[in-house]
């Protein structure tokens, strides 16, 4: 039986339980998947309990959301090279009797981001999701502009994408001339800058899915730009988690359609 959960704080808004439960139902697998409130301060004890308590081996895995994507790497030493490079893991899973961490965010961005080598790309924000995005772009484009409130995030972004030229810009920078924009900041952080953009000639990927639509999405869509929603990112990264937790192969295209339809009105 699959026993999994999404953990983070806050967690009540998460659509992951709805997505995972439906997927396992479609696959005909017995499974439970819940949401568990785990903060940055409580995660060390939570992870320690997974390693020591009786029955811990019954857990298949966990989806990690804010604020756990970085802290998990301080406690779980078995991370793949990509996850280590971007210093962000959103998936904790059991394999061969031990806990491992990976980034299905990275895999989702690899699938969703279709750009030419010379595309002009901007990423808003510098946290774990931004590093997964820029890591996925590492071999796809030549340069990325990053809109930040602080330069403190720049070393980690450059480490995540060593093959790219990474330029820091102010958050107020207009987004008029970009082929691809990836918005990764939390709710309301970028709202005050949305009106600075007066043209939309490309694609905006908005990592948030609740609350939504954001001011930037409304602005960009109103100007005629194309939107990749946070729900598409959520489902894409979940497909890889479902594969890991269930240890089964399935048709991603068919499952993707089913899960996007499931949460379309949420």
Q: Residue 54 has what pLDDT?
A: 58
pLDDT, tens only, 178-199: 999 999 999 899 999 999 999 9
Q: What is the rounded CA–CA span in Å between residue 119 and residue 207?
A: 20
Q: Which residues pair with 228 in a beta bridge?
A: 205
Q: What is the percent of the chain with per-residue pLDDT over 70, rounded to a whole number?
A: 98
Question: What fold, for 107-228?
Answer: Rossmann fold (3.40.50)
3-state secondary structure of 61: strand
Q: What is the rounded CA–CA span in Å between residue 204 and residue 65?
A: 22
Q: Residue 252 has what pLDDT?
A: 98
Q: Residue 216 has what pLDDT?
A: 97
Q: Look-up: residue for tokens 């697998």?
A: 29
Q: Does the model's pTM come out above 0.85?
A: yes
pLDDT, tens only, 12-61: 989 999 999 999 999 999 999 999 999 999 999 999 888 875 545 689 99
pLDDT, tens only, 97-116: 889 999 999 999 999 999 99
Report the chain's mean pLDDT, rounded to a whole number: 95
Q: How confident is the model at residue 212 (pLDDT cuts 50, 70, 90)?
A: confident
Phi then psi dihedrals of residue 148, to 5 deg? -135, 155
Q: Do domains 2-102+232-262 and 107-228 have the same CATH topology?
A: yes
- Please give the distance of CA 130 from its chain centroid, rounded to a whole number: 8
Q: What is the phi-psi region of residue 246: left when phi exceeds 0, alpha when psi lies from -120 to 50, beta otherwise?
A: alpha
Q: Residue 119 has what pLDDT?
A: 98
Q: Look-up: residue for tokens 């009540």?
A: 12
Out of 3.40.50.10860, 3.40.640.10, 3.40.50.300, 3.90.1150.10, select the CATH number for domain 2-102+232-262: 3.40.50.10860
Q: Residue 56 has what pLDDT?
A: 58
Q: Where are the domains of the chain?
A: 2-102+232-262, 107-228
8 Å CB contact between 226 and 202: yes
Q: Residue 53 has what pLDDT?
A: 59
Q: Residue 97 has what pLDDT?
A: 82
Q: Residue 210 has what pLDDT?
A: 85
Q: Residue 98 has what pLDDT?
A: 87
pLDDT, tens only, 109-164: 999 999 999 999 999 999 999 999 999 999 999 999 999 998 999 999 999 999 99
């Amino acid at each position: 039986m699959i026993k999994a959960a999404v953990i983070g704080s806050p967690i009540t808004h998460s659509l992951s339980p709805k997505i995972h439960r439906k997927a396992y139902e479609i696959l005909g697998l017995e499974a439970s998947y819940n949401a568990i409130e785990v903060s940055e301060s409580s995660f060390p004890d939570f992870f320690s309990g997974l390693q020591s308590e009786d029955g811990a081996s019954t857990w298949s895995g966990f989806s990690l959301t804010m604020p756990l994507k970085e802290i998990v790497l301080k406690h779980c030493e078995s991370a793949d090279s990509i996850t280590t490079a971007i210093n962000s893991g959103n998936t904790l899973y059991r394999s061969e009797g031990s806990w491992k961490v990976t980034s299905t965010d990275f895999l989702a961005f690899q699938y969703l981001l279709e750009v030419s080598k010379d595309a002009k790309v901007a990423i808003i924000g510098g946290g774990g999701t931004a590093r997964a995005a820029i890591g996925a772009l590492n071999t796809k484009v030549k340069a990325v502009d990053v809109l930040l409130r602080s330069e403190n995030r720049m070393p980690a972004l450059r480490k995540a994408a060593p093959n790219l030229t990474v330029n820091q810009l102010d958050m107020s920078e207009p987004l008029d001339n970009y082929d691809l924009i990836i918005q990764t900041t939390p709710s309301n952080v970028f709202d005050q800058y949305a009106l600075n953009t007066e043209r939309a000639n490309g694609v905006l990927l908005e990592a948030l899915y609740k609350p939504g639509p954001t001011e930037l999405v409304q602005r960009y869509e109103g100007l005629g730009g194309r939107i990749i929603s946070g729900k598409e990112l959520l489902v894409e990264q979940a497909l890889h988690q479902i594969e890991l937790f269930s240890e089964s192969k399935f048709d991603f295209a068919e499952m993707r359609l089913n899960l996007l339809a499931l949460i379309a009105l949420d």
